[in-house]
Structure 1
Amino acid sequence: MKQLEGKVAVVTGGNSGIGFAMASRFVQEGASVVIVGRRADAVEAAVQQLGAQAIGVTGDIADLGTHDRVAALVAAEFGGADIYVANAGMNTITPSDQVGVEEYDIQFATNTRAVFFGVQKIGPLMRRDGAILLVSSIASGKALDGHAVYAGSKAAIEAFARSWALEFKTRGIRVNVISPGPVDTPILAKLGVAATERPAFEAMMAGAIPLGRMGRAEEVANAALLLAGSEGSFITGVNLRVDGGIALA
């Protein structure tokens, strides 16, 4: 029997990158998946790739109304959820002395406030023995140039997870964090790494990562399956780094 047979998973940012890899892995293990993303075309394309077990919701997670719509859909279509992955996030790399209020606010609205209220909205629909997974970053514990705001926004959700692991314990719901390191996803282009610069960038990263290469989204998804599925049934309140050891360097 597949590990997630009959389960319902919600993945924010599930239309691309790590989020899509997680949604795909969950579908492979038998789950029905609700993915949430900002762009309707990207969400629709992802749903087509995931197949009949997937439903898409278009909305900005920084808009708290999106979480109301997600919860309403989950209640109407499935009567509840078993897995909730708060994956969607954003990062702008800017030195602290150049960060403006708007840039600060949008990162915390997307990376922190959206996670808090997303869990608050889906919490009542979570079934007993479910799993909540928050996607953080190695940046929360490893100082990186221009990442101060991003790091702070991710550190906050790690604190949420520790509190929630206790708050949800009476319902058997496990709450964990996964912190990816450098992963080869489309977000690299959004961060300004041009196609012509990729070989040099990958070589630089390989030199900094003890395992000698960047990670793959599928590897993060495998770790997510461990934390969200039955094989991780005695794991709660942890922060699992999937980073090739770069946090040690």
Structure 2
Amino acid sequence: MNAKTLKHAVTSFFTAIKTKNIVPIEHIVDDAKVLDKKVALITGGSGEIGYAIAKSFIESGCHVIITGTNAEKLKSCVEKLGDSSKGIFVSQKIAKYFVENKTKGHILNISSSTGGEPGWSAYRISKQAIENLTLGLAQKLSPYGIFVNGIAPGSTATNLLNYKDGDSIATRDNVIGRMVMPDKIATYAKMLVSDLGNMVVGETIYISGGRGKFDIR
């Protein structure tokens, strides 16, 4: 470090102290604590992707609330996840609650890689709407310390695609030639709702092997 750079760093430090404009930089190296003392509400938590996300969050120190439309499936998931989860059936307007209670946090919307494809079906149009909503909420809520992003999985190895444990994950749905696993989606979700994701705002991350980005069908 040369003298000019050192002088600039020292000056910036004391200026920050005087103005109280100090933002902590957190380097989290322990994956088991990346969501420590945080609380997550996961809608659709009884589905295979939602369940994988809930399980991953709990393993990283998070207290989890899951919602679902099937009471039996929801009860089963809660029992598997253990005491760190609680099942509820009605979701509140989370963003409004955050703002009114001056609570900082993250909102992660789940879309689909079909949101990047031409909107010739109601399903695709609905996923495009989720991505636009994600961007709009991010713009409005980021000044309050609320970070909004989305993930858009491609073909995923779940029972929706008739996948069972031990089946091949090979697929022709993307150029990579394989389905994504629910736990991989959960890993991206965990990163985006942790403090590691605070500089990612308004993005929808495609976990799709290129489908919906350059692989348009």
Q: Report the TM-score, using the length of structure 2 for normalisation.
A: 0.75
* Unmatched runs of 5 consecutive residues or more in structure 1: 59-65, 72-116
Higher gyration radius (CA)? 2
In 2, the alpha carbon distance for the partners of 1:230 and 1:218 equals: 20
* Unmatched runs of 5 consecutive residues or more in structure 2: 1-29
1:54 matches 2:85 = yes
| Partner SS for 1:34 | strand
Match of 1:186 in 2: 159
- 1:187-206 pair list within 5 angstroms: 187-189=160-162, 203=170, 205=171
Among 170, 189, 207, which residue is 1:242 paired with?
207
Q: For residues 99-134 of structure 1, what are the alpha-carbon distances to aligned partners after superposition, in whole Å with 9 as ceiling and x for unaligned?
A: xxxxxxxxxxxxxxxxxx565566645722x10011
| Partner SS for 2:177 | coil
CA contact (8 A) 2:99 2:144 kept: no
- 1:8-27 pair list within 5 angstroms: 8-27=39-58
- 1:142-221 pair list within 5 angstroms: 142-143=117-118, 148-189=121-162, 203=170, 205=171, 207-221=172-186
1:139 matches 2:114 = yes
| Partner SS for 1:18 | helix
In 2, the alpha carbon distance for the partners of 1:148 and 1:120 equals: 31
User: Identity rate of aligned residues, in percent?
Assistant: 30
Report the alpha carbon displacement of residue 208 of structure 1 after superposing the two structures with TM: 3.9
* Change beyond 3 A, Cα 1:37–1:124: farther
Q: For residues 66-125 of structure 1, what are the alpha-carbon distances to aligned partners after superposition, in whole Å with 9 as ceiling and x for unaligned?
A: 23xxx4xxxxxxxxxxxxxxxxxxxxxxxxxxxxxxxxxxxxxxxxxxxxx565566645
RMSD over aligned Cα, in angstroms?
2.3
* Change beyond 3 A, Cα 1:12–1:155: same
- 1:22-101 pair list within 5 angstroms: 22-58=53-89, 66-67=90-91, 71=92
Q: Which structure features the higher share of helix residues? A: 1
AA aligned to 2:66 is I
In 1, the alpha carbon distance for the partners of 2:59 and 2:151 equals: 20
Q: For residues 30-54 of structure 1, what are the alpha-carbon distances to aligned partners after superposition, in whole Å with 9 as ceiling and x for unaligned?
A: 0110000111111111011111100
Q: For residues 189-228 of structure 1, what are the alpha-carbon distances to aligned partners after superposition, in whole Å with 9 as ceiling and x for unaligned?
A: 4xxx8x8xx76xx55x2x3423221110011111111111
Match of 1:85 in 2: none
